[in-house]
Each structure stands twice: as structure tokens, then as C-alpha cells.
Structure 1
Amino acid sequence: MEVLWAPWRLEYILGPKPDSCPFCLPEHTDEDTARRVLYRGRKAFVIMNIFPYNNGHLMVCPYRHVMNLVDLETDEQHELMDLLNHTTRILQERFTPGGVNIGLNLGEAAGAGIREHMHFHLVPRWVGDSSFMAITSETRVVPEHIDSTYAALKPYFDRLDETAG
């Protein structure tokens, strides 16, 4: 078995596990950087996936603890779609991927790891990013440290506030 260095995972493995939903965020706190929150809107937010499939694997979530897409209010739906658009543009600008997977898994049977709080995944993709490592070793290589990715993406999301204000 191959071993890849992923030091940011140790903090999660050894740290305390929340008893509550990881997507039910408190009001803005000084913990946004530690939680890797990139953007907070009025009804939704953008956060990094701490177990990314690729660099730049982000999630767009409503603040409200909603399990199903059909339970969203109209203003939540609109903001989620706006954030999906903005986040896609930011990923394309920062990473210049060949494509972006955008997905929503509703329910455990659909593959939702956290089914109680719906969230969209955005994953930048490049031709060949599922290389021999993923195929033969069941190992995915994420070449940039998650904290470096956060630092690189945060200014793009900070500009969203500037253009909205």
C-alpha cells in the first residue's frame, strides 16, 4: 500500500469530533479560517471539503439545516445558484481546470456522507487527474496543501463582498 503525506488530516483525526452538524455554522466567528469557510452570504456559504477529491474541492451549503432541495425557500435557492455560479468562475480562474463536477447527493442511498444537511460539491477536474495512482492503488494525489489552497482562494471570495456591496 502506498502512503501519501496529508498532514492536515491528523488535526481532524486526533481532534474532538462535533456532536452537531458540521454544516450548521455559528454566526461569523474567528473560527472561519480554521473551519475553512471561504465565503458567507445571507442564506448560504462556501466551505472547503477537508477530504478533497482534488485541489479546490469546495461545497456550497445553505445555513438552514435542510435535508432536501425541495424544502429550500426561494431566496435560499437563488443564493445557492448564485454562489454555484460565482464559485465555478473562481475555480476556473484560479485552477484553469478542464472541467468542473458539480453535484448534490440527496439522501444516503444517493451517496450523501452527511445526509441531514444538503450541500453541493464543486470539484475542479483535469484530463488525466484520475491517473494510475487512483486506478491501480486506489490512491488519489492532491498536490497542494489544503491551507495553501485556502489562502489562494480566499482573496477571490473576499472580492465577492466588494462587488456586492
Structure 2
Amino acid sequence: MQRLWVPHRMVYVADHHQPDRTDCPFCAAPARTDEDALIVARGAHSYVLLNLFPYNNGHMLVCPYRHISGYDEASAEEVAEIGALTQTAMRVAREVMGCHGFNLGMNQGEIAGAGIAAHLHQHIVPRWASDANFFPIIAKTKAMPQLLGDVREAIAAAWPVDPGPGVQRPAGGARA
């Protein structure tokens, strides 16, 4: 048997850390510390955090603070900020991680593949020319080369000092 160490998933194994299934994790995240919630940036209407179950290293999500399920329910301000934060996240990921491209997307509704269909979120998945290998196909396992806390720290530290109107740097993300 081979082992793939994924310590960040311990939160889903330990009974005392199980999230309340009735709570929305995207509504709960902004009340937690940036490090604990894996938040890399906060805006006036939305925020950016790492995906706890990433497809690739640096997989980020942009979520409005409001609990809405559809993109068509978002206000003009939310749409604009989600777009601005997505652009900044892409620039930062290129700078910090040296990625070659991105997959961007929103799955609207459970039938469309949304894991958390009740709260709108956009995926930003960094891609590299060499990120595909046999693991997901043969072993049904995705190898992640960095721990989530390390990725969050690097992205938060590289987030621009002046990312735009209403967008704030997260705690612990100060840049010299």
C-alpha cells in the first residue's frame, strides 16, 4: 500500500473538528482568521480563499459575502469585484507559482457539478505544462506538492499593496 500524506484533510476525519453540515462554509469563512479559513484577500463585496479540496496547487475560489447561489443574482458591484479579484489572483499565481495558464469557472447548481451549490463561487485553477500525470487516472489520487497553509502564505504575501478600490490585504499578508 502506498501512502499520500494530506494533513489538511484531518479536519474532516477528527470528530471534534467536523463542520456543521447545515452551515455554509463560504458564509462561515470570513468570520474566521485568514490563516484558518485559507483566505488570501478580502474585498468590500467578495473575498478569495484557497480551495480545501484543490484540483491543483494554488486552486483559489472567489466568493461574494452574500449567500446567493446564482451569478445572475449577484449585484453589479459583486460581479465587478469578483472579476477584479479573479484578475489579481491570476497575476499573483503567475508571480508566486510560475503557472502557465488557468481554468476559470463557475458551476451553477448541483446538476452542473457545484459541490456547494447554495453559495456562488468562482474557481481559479492554476495549470502548468507538466501538471498532468498518471496518478489521477491509474491511482485515482492527486499529488499536491505543497501544503495549503504554505500556499496561502505565499499568495497572501504577494497580493498587491493597492489591489484596487475596496480590496484589502489579509492579515499576515504584509509585503515589504
TM (norm. structure 2) is 0.85
Cα deviation for residue 123 of structure 1 reads 0.8
CA 1:124 to 1:117, structure 2 compared with 1: closer, same or farther past 3 Å? same
- Give the CA deviation at 1:127: 1.9
Q: Which one is further off, 123-132 or 82-91?
A: 123-132
Alignment of 1:8-157 (within 5 A): 8-14=8-14, 15-18=17-20, 19-25=22-28, 29=32, 31-157=33-159
1:160–1:38 CA distance, 2 compared to 1 (3 A): farther
- Give the counterpart letter for 1:131 in structure 2: N
Q: Percent identity?
A: 35
User: Distance in 1 between the 2:163 and 2:90 partners?
Assistant: 16
Unaligned runs of 5+ in 1: none
Q: Report the alpha carbon displacement of residue 41 of structure 1 after superposing the two structures with TM.
A: 0.4
Indicate conservation of the 8 Å contact 1:106/1:115, yes or no: yes
Q: Residues 44 and 63 of structure 1 are in contact (CA less than 8 Å); yes or no, is this contact kept in structure 2?
A: yes
TM superposition shift of 1:108: 0.4
SS in 2 for 1:23: helix
Query: RMSD over aligned Cα, in angstroms?
Result: 2.0
Aligned partners of 2:36 and 2:31: how far apart in 1?
12
Give the Å deviation of 1:160: 4.1
Cα deviation for residue 157 of structure 1 reads 2.4
Change (3 A) 1:71 1:10: same
Paired residue total: 164
Segments of structure 2 that go 5 or more residues without pairing to the other structure are 169-176
8 Å Cα contact 1:133/1:139 also seen in 2: yes
Which aligned runs of 4 or more in structure 1 are off by greater than 6 angstroms?
162-165
**Shift in CA distance, 9/62, structure 1 to aligned 2, threshold 3 Å:** same
- Shift of the 27–123 alpha-carbon distance from structure 1 to 2, 3 Å rule, reads closer
* Secondary structure of the structure 2 residue equivalent to 1:86: helix
- Partner secondary structure for residue 27 of structure 2: coil
Give the structure 1 partner of residue 174 of structure 2: none
Deviations 1:42-61 (A, max 9, x none): 00000111111111010000
